[in-house]
Each structure stands twice: as structure tokens, then as C-alpha cells.
Amino acid sequence: MTVLPTQLLQLVTVARHVDILCMIDFELEQWKASPEWAQLLEAYVVETAAEKDRNPEFDGWIVRLATVAGIEDSELGTIHGKLIALDLLKFQLETRTSGLTYQVTHLGKHMLKKGEYTEEKHAETDLKQSA
């Protein structure tokens, strides 16, 4: 049996699609198991809204949050990195003196709006399971 180049391309495309779906499932499981990810994104959303209220000319970029209630400061770097890797948070270098600024991506906002994995929903689920 001879495999034509177009057939080979289709096989590669299908294989990549399956790998991507497996990765998405894996990342979604990590999201579900890590409520602090949503907590950090939510902190950026809240800070963004507050800054917009203070300054109508605000461009949407927030200086890196150094502390977030409920998250160990030592874990913030790792969480920022993971959220950036998952395209839930983006960053840019403002200036050498001001450093990095951050913004929740469209996908990050979507994940928060779904509301399935926020801290409150985890607490509700825990209460329902214990009842």
C-alpha cells in the first residue's frame, strides 16, 4: 500500500489534533485542581476595574501584583508563568524602571466567567458533597 503525501498530511493533522485535545484535557484538570490560578486572574480583573475607575485613560496593563490574599508570595511567580503559558495572562515590558505589566487575556476572562472553578464554586461543591 502506498501512502500519498496528502494522506500522510491528513494522518499527521489527525495525530496533532488528538495530542492537542489531550493537552487541553490535562490543562483543564490542572485548572480545576488549582483554584489559586483563578484567584490570581480575578485579582488582576479587580485591579483593572479599580484602575479604570480612577483613570479613564487607563490602558489596561497592571503592574505585577506582589501579593494576593490566600496565595503564598513565593508561589506567585510559578502561577504567573503557568497562566502566561496557558494564554490566560499576558505581559509586556513597559520600561526598564517600571518592569513588567500584566493583562488578563480574552481566554482568561472566559475561564473566569464560566465560574465553574472559582473558589466560591469549590466551596459550594465541597458543601454539597459533605451533605
pLDDT in tens, 63-112: 999 999 999 999 999 999 999 998 899 999 877 777 889 999 998 998 88
pLDDT band at 115 (very low <50, low <70, confident <90, very high): low
Give 101's contacts (C-beta < 8 A, 6+ positions apart). 61, 62, 63, 64, 91, 92, 93, 94
Q: What are the respective helix, strand and coil percentages of the chain, to the nearest 5?
A: 65, 15, 25
Mean pLDDT of the region 1-5: 50
Q: Dihedral of the CA atoms 100, 102, 107, 110 (nearest 10)?
A: 160
| This model's pTM is above 0.75 | no
Mean pLDDT of the region 31-44: 92
For the ranges 53-62, 70-79, 92-101, 115-124, the lowest mean pLDDT is seen at: 115-124
pLDDT band at 130 (very low <50, low <70, confident <90, very high): very low
CA 104 to each of CA 5, 8, 14, 45, 88: distance values in angstroms, whole numbers, following the listed order? 41, 39, 31, 7, 6
pLDDT score for 84: 94
